[in-house]
Amino acid sequence: MAPGFGTRLAASVAERGPLCVGIDPHRELLVGWGVGDDLDGLRRFTDAVVEALAGSVAVLKPQMAFYERFGARGVAVLEDAVAGIRAAGALVLLDAKRGDIGSTMAAYADYLGSDHPMQVDALTVSPFLGPESLAPAVRAAKSSGGGLFVLARTSNPDAGTFQHARVGEVSVAQAVVDTVGRWNAEDAPSGPGSFGVVVGATLQELDVDLDGLGGPILAPGLGAQGGSVADLRRLFGSERAVVPTVSRDVLAAGPDAAALRAAADRWTAELSA
């Protein structure tokens, strides 16, 4: 059986550094690059990012919504990009934040399967329909060697409205972390686990206990959103498997490929120091 996502992620980080770059072709960025906010501009943008970064960055994280807004042809651009990214050695984390139940959740999780035309290495998912709603995705990840990143303690300003609510003796966010920790304990008791959580790098304080997680932490918010490498160290220390995410601070360097690589390299160097 092929190594699980947790093992492949650890190997990629060891070889390339911990940086995850978000691929977020929003309207303003496409216009700023001068490629145009249309299907051709989307393709030119995506091809440039893949060419510049897929051979050197550990993880690339395309945001599904920015491709879906162009309809089926936009998703086709992403499908081509995913194949190119994986061929160049980077892992693909599809940022789709899917959440549903039963057969619908299982269909979303098909992205992890080897028979899917756009197979990815990991998928972001939402747990707020209850832990059991994610069971089909957990099964799919285990059978395919893929991974999941579950929203737990996000850094948007009003996230605490729900995530600080109590479930018995713990917060909703902590209940999510504890659930994911159990998946890892069952699947990879000696680690590294393939199931991670999303915890924002811009939190004022870490108000969830991650010690029993056993899997990676996706930490968005570096750069333009205000998070820094110092914040990562303050929140997570240096021993946890943290995957810091940068988007705008790297993509703003485009469309020049060398400038994109240089921007990513600067972040990788700072994160690895």
Instruction: Report the relative pairing of strands 166-167 and 170-171 from DSSP bridges.
Output: antiparallel
Closest by CA position to 241, among listed 3, 8, 21, 18: 18
Q: Provide the H-helix boundaries in the chain.
A: 5-16, 27-33, 39-53, 64-68, 71-87, 102-109, 135-144, 160-163, 172-187, 229-236, 248-251, 257-272
Buried b (16+ CB within 10 A) or exposed e, 101-120: eeeebeebbbbbeeeeebbb
Q: Which residues contact 187 (CB under 8 A, 6 or more apart)?
A: 4, 142, 193, 194, 195
97 assigned to active site: yes
Q: Compute the distance between CA of residue 108 and CA of residue 123 in angstroms, rounded to an integer.
A: 9
DSSP 121: S
Considering the candidates 86, 97, 142, 182, report the single residue annotated as catalytic: 97
Task: Cite the active site residues.
Answer: 97
